[in-house]
Amino acid sequence: MAAKSIMVQGTASHVGKSILVAALCRIFVQDGYRVAPFKSQNMALNSFVTRDGGEMGRAQVVQAEAACVEPSVDMNPILLKPYGHASSQVIVMGRPIGNLTAQKYHNEYAPGALKIINESLNRLFALYDLVVIEGAGSPAEVNLQDNEIVNMTIARMAKAPVLLIADIDKGGALAAVVGTLELISPDDRERVAGIIINKFRGDLNLFKPAVDFLEKKTGKPVLGVVPYFHDLRIQEEDTISEDKNRGVPVEKPGSWVDVAVIHLPHISNFTDFDPLEDEPDVRLRYIDGVNRMRDPDLIILPGSKNTMEDLVFLYRSGLAAQIVKFSRAGIPVIGICGGYQMLGNDLFDFHHTESKFPRIKGLGLLDITTTFASEKVTNQVEACLNGSGLLLNGAQDIKVTGYEIHMGKTKLAQGVSPVFNILRRSGEEVSFPDGAVSRDGLVFGTYIHGIFDNDCLRRHVVNILRKKKGFEPLSATGAIPVTEQRNRDFDKLAALVRSSVQMEKIYSLLGLNGYQKGK
């Protein structure tokens, strides 16, 4: 069959486009089609490294998981990683090409990027039956319409019908739909094939007059009303949910350990910690102020797109002093990537790779120094535990997989042990030390993202914290692995959307009959 495509656009950012694309990917796979997600340009600090070392947006990785395919940078050919006011690092086909201001990117670079986007899209069309395309923000941003490369320009390129999605939970959804259709061109308005209302709470019967109004006012069918859900663990694209950000833990029965993740202003790859949140005996909180720290059992410093400026934030907010105080009192501290760099003695940025500061003193919890370089390291890795001490004793046989994304080189002082020994990097066998651990084992840092996706290591660390509090360790036997849990939630998400969206009409838009026999 000739490849088909459908596009999901929104009336605004964060209306649920990414989740709906993931749901459609899983539904189409269940119905027997080969499916790929696609987003031409993604602005996000949550990213991932592919098997061949390319960097892409995490949302398209999640959508690829929903589609049961391996992520490829063709699914997200352009990634923008904000690092300062109106500026971003621009990553094209998985590789950084430099830092650009918003004005220079939109006016000078973006128009010429359409050729790269078109080539990626065509490669996906050659490999898959269906491509589910995600837009960004809103197509009604009139100031960007002439040079945009992520909404209607892509719908026209792919000849894709558009589903317009609105978030009713925020309020004003009907006005947002009507206003969006009013502000786009007549040709683009014609391309919108249907409307989906997302995050609905309440009685659908009471909402029927609103559906009738929308259909009469816009001439577009409302193809579904998707209920609000909060019990599915589908990874966030680039925003920490309000519940997490309040620092208010969800109560869990029995004995639990309290894990505090520092919510840095430029936090990146916070999805590293989602598997901890899924553990039955872990309360995970995101902390952005000293008054919210309380008495954690573990403090985690996450990755950052701007390590130097986020370290300044720690000092100015008082969190730096509080973290050091807790560490001196015996509370374990773990740093990932930028968080690892912050744990050291000094950070040097002589070429202003990340900030205006040439040097900043670190927290001094690890005897290391970091110097930033312009070359970015991006690899998938396999490693074994190498360090010792409280958090690592008894875990030396554990092997982990993950990925590196960083621009600094860290030097360990004499006598400081690494945490991991990397055995494989981007498919090649190596023997390379990673990270550092304090002599008492209470503090360690690593450049490897995704370590908590590894079930054995995650349960080992949690059990160490349990024993430290006087609780019995829990067995990992019977626990659902992270990958299995994600697949279960993708299936639940697909069932939810399938039951609330008129899939037969979506298949009709695609010129398909639905379930493909002989799957």
Q: Which residues are catalytic?
A: 337, 449
Residue type, 3: A
20 vs 195: CA distance, rounded Å:
12
Helical residues (DSSP H) of 93-191, grouped into ranges: 102-104, 114-127, 152-158, 173-183, 186-191
231 vs 251: CA distance, rounded Å:
15
208 vs 8: CA distance, rounded Å:
23
Rg, C-alpha atoms of the chain: 24
- Both tokens assigned to 338: 């930028």
78 vs 105: CA distance, rounded Å:
12
407 vs 30: CA distance, rounded Å:
40
Q: In sequence order, which residues have a C-beta less than 8 Å from that of residue 33 and are 6 or more positions away? A: 128, 129, 130, 516
- Both tokens assigned to 363: 């927290």
Q: Show the CA angle centred on residue 375, arms to residues 372 and 381, nearest 5°.
A: 100
501 vs 23: CA distance, rounded Å:
11
The length of the chain is 519
CB 336 within 8 A of CB 267: no
Closest CA to 11 of 144, 186, 197: 197
Query: Mapping DSSP to helix (H, G, I), strand (E, B) and coil, where does residue 4 land?
Result: strand
Q: Sheet with 35-38: list strands edge to edge.
A: 35-38, 130-134, 4-10, 162-167, 192-200, 222-227
| Kind of pairing between the strands at 47-49 and 222-227 | unpaired
Residue type, 488: R
CB 147 within 8 A of CB 104: no
Assign 3-state DSSP to the chain and report helix, strand, coil percentages, each to 5: 35, 30, 35
Q: Residue 323 phi/psi, 5° resolution?
A: -65, -45
How buried is residue 388: exposed, middle or buried, by Cβ count under 10 Å (0-12/13-18/19+)? middle
Q: How many CB atoms lie within 10 A of CB 412?
A: 17
295 vs 301: CA distance, rounded Å:
16
